[in-house]
Structure 1
Amino acid sequence: MTEKHGGDRESGESSDGMFLSALGERVRELRLRRGMARATLARDSGVSLRYLAQLEAGDGNISVVRLRRVAHALALPLDEVLRVGPGPSPELARLTQFLSRLSSADLGLAASQVYGAFEKQGRRDRIALIGLRGAGKSAVGRLLAQHLGVPFFEMGEIIEHSAGMTLPEIFSLYGQGAYRRYERRTLDWIVENNERFVLATGGSIVTEAATFDELLGACFAVWLKASPGEHMKRVIAQGDRRPMMGDDQEALKDLERILVSREPMHSRADLTVDTTGLSVPETFAELRRRLEA
């Protein structure tokens, strides 16, 4: 037992030594790639010249804080400095550096374009239904998933299960920002763990640019469109009496404004199906026909 522990310790120490040696080579390589003298890196990082010499020789057990200073002086992220061993291809390295400079919204747009160019068939296997509440996303989505023999996901239900509370409680206790984070994580989880599915999204997902861009890149988006009056009629039929509690004409106007404001985003969908005047079975039949055309 004791001998085994001693062997493990020696093996670990050997592994640590190899890592420090590789890290030293990595720092020296990056410094030379930048055209920096060791003295210049010492000055810019605030790490002593002697310590840098030990680090590059593989003898310096450098702290994370000091290594972070070295990375900053090299104008590189810390994880790039720590990437010892065989590195990525030059093309991938350049692409990674370029993407790291993009904002969250632009990164989502870039992902959408890349997915669209290289994963067209894969996107067809992942159908996401978008549209306001009352469009029929849940009812039609379940029928479509059953027909295709794939899982059906209701984004709101997954968020509630993950948070351990209802959507109104999330908004009330933690605000819209928390809901958006749950929404993004839910989409990431669904896409990463399922090759084929039908997803009924939340009505406002189109207003969160980065999340919507990711959805468009990873999924085949279908906008279930309906007139304002049709939306209101369906919401009331679902048991929500809120539109009837105030001025119904004003509520209808508000709904019209929402539809108009979101139309540019909804129109980015791969397919649009107008469900006005159609029952759920009729909408499903029309969607199925359009998808199989």
Structure 2
Amino acid sequence: MKQTYSADPVADVPDGDAPKGERDPFLTAMGERVRLLRARRGMTRKALAQETGLSERHLANLESGVGNASVLVLRQIATTLNCPLAEVIGDETTSSAEWLLIRELLQGRDQAALQRARLALAEMFAQAPRDPHRKDRIALIGLRGAGKSTLGRMLAQELKVPFVELNRVIEQLAGCPPSEIHSLYGASAYRRYEHRALEAVIQEHEHAVIASPGGLVSEAGTFNALLAHCFTVWLQATPEEHMRRVVAQGDLRPMSGNNEAMDDLKRILAGRGELYGRADMTFDTSEKTLADAYLQLRDRLAARLAAETAEDRGIE
């Protein structure tokens, strides 16, 4: 049951008393984090307001750094965005000397080095053996309009393996479309179905091509499971190309009724870019015919998988 607030949950700070250049740095940074977390999950401000029981005005004040939210409000936002409260406030990871030493080691490293560190830690703390079929499951990630369904079907047909759209599995498990799960039960329920659907697909299929929902990468547990059990490919496209393809499909979700749809789309892409970048491989589908995109994707994927297989054998 969603909590609602009868009292004003966010104290408004008049712009006249706090010029933009003099706003509290902590509140400004926190507002930016909330906006980034919301963008990663593809949620409009209106959707977050409905989920939390807050008004759009209060959220706008919070995200712009001029609203001083209560702890209860911040907890409600963190719950809705499915992240620790510390991530909203600012996780300093200063709870112990070991944390500080780890932070010092990672400070300033590039993305490639951080990825190697993450993989090493994942292997060190893994509670289950490495999935021997990880490279036999090809998971396509990216925003709607990148070509996951179209290219995925073509790839599955050539590889002679099942093609699985995770959204369809979610619908089968829930007994209703994902959009209805969101409207009837909220984002938290949808995330649970999404995780269950991925577990079911991994359990059932040793070989498959999987098209994943665009927002799956925003849920750390589900995305880590995808990375552990599938060879992931980020299908990229420009914001304009994404929008053109979505409009051609006659589907503007989750941006329908929003006059700033393109701005929302760009924010989502920016917010998720680092997460999508954790994929094993990236492929840009922009300004390519369907035939060219498929042939290039197929050939690059085959080369990457062959190289990784050879590397694995060399390590063994």
TM-score of the aligned structures, taking structure 2 as reference length:
0.54
Name the residue aligned to 2:220. 209
Task: Find out whether 1:256 has 2:260 as its counterpart.
Answer: no
Name the residue aligned to 1:153. 164
1:278 to 284, 288, 291: 288
Shift in Å, 1:166:
1.3
Name the residue aligned to 1:123. 134
Partner AA of 2:294 in structure 1: F
Shift in Å, 1:280:
2.7
Shift in Å, 1:241:
5.0
> Does structure 2 conserve the Cα–Cα contact (< 8 Å) formed by 1:130 and 1:200?
yes
Task: Find out whether 1:195 has 2:206 as its counterpart.
Answer: yes
Cα distance change on mapping 1:207 and 1:290 into 2, 3 Å: same
After alignment, is 233-242 or 209-218 more displaced?
A: 233-242
User: What SS class does the counterpart of residue 210 from structure 1 fall into?
Assistant: helix
How far apart are the structure 2 equivalents of 1:112 and 1:211? 19
TM-score of the aligned structures, taking structure 1 as reference length:
0.58
How far apart are the structure 2 equivalents of 1:126 and 1:113? 23
Name the residue aligned to 2:193. 182
User: What SS class does the counterpart of residue 153 from structure 1 fall into?
Assistant: strand
Shift in Å, 1:291:
1.2
Identity of aligned residues (%): 50
How far apart are the structure 2 equivalents of 1:213 and 1:193? 18
How far apart are the structure 2 equivalents of 1:182 and 1:257? 25
Name the residue aligned to 1:164. 175
Where structure 2 has 5 or more consecutive residues not aligned to the other structure, the ranges are 1-117, 304-316
1:36-55 correspondence to structure 2 within 5 Å:
none
How far apart are the structure 1 equivalents of 2:289 and 2:179? 28
Cα distance change on mapping 1:197 and 1:112 into 2, 3 Å: farther
Residue-by-residue CA offset, 1:216-241 (whole Å, 9 max, x unaligned): 01100000000101000000000125
Shift in Å, 1:254:
1.4
How far apart are the structure 1 equivalents of 2:237 and 2:290? 12
User: What SS class does the counterpart of residue 189 from structure 1 fall into?
Assistant: helix
How far apart are the structure 1 equivalents of 2:170 and 2:277? 26
User: What SS class does the counterpart of residue 223 from structure 2 fall into?
Assistant: helix
Which of these two proteins has the greater Rg computed from alpha carbons? 1
Where structure 1 has 5 or more consecutive residues not aligned to the other structure, the ranges are 1-105
Residue-by-residue CA offset, 1:181-212 (whole Å, 9 max, x unaligned): 11111111111121100000000000000000
> Does structure 2 conserve the Cα–Cα contact (< 8 Å) formed by 1:125 and 1:220?
yes
How far apart are the structure 1 equivalents of 2:237 and 2:124? 26
Residue-by-residue CA offset, 1:102-144 (whole Å, 9 max, x unaligned): xxxx9xx84798499844x621111000000001101110000
Task: Find out whether 1:265 has 2:275 as its counterpart.
Answer: yes
Could you say what the CA RMSD is over the residues aligned between the two structures, in angstroms?
Answer: 2.4
Cα distance change on mapping 1:184 and 1:240 into 2, 3 Å: same
User: What SS class does the counterpart of residue 204 from structure 1 fall into?
Assistant: helix
Structure number with higher helix proportion? 1
How far apart are the structure 1 equivalents of 2:124 and 2:249? 34
How far apart are the structure 2 equivalents of 1:123 and 1:285? 23
Runs of 4 or more, structure 1, over 4 Å off, are: 111-117, 241-246
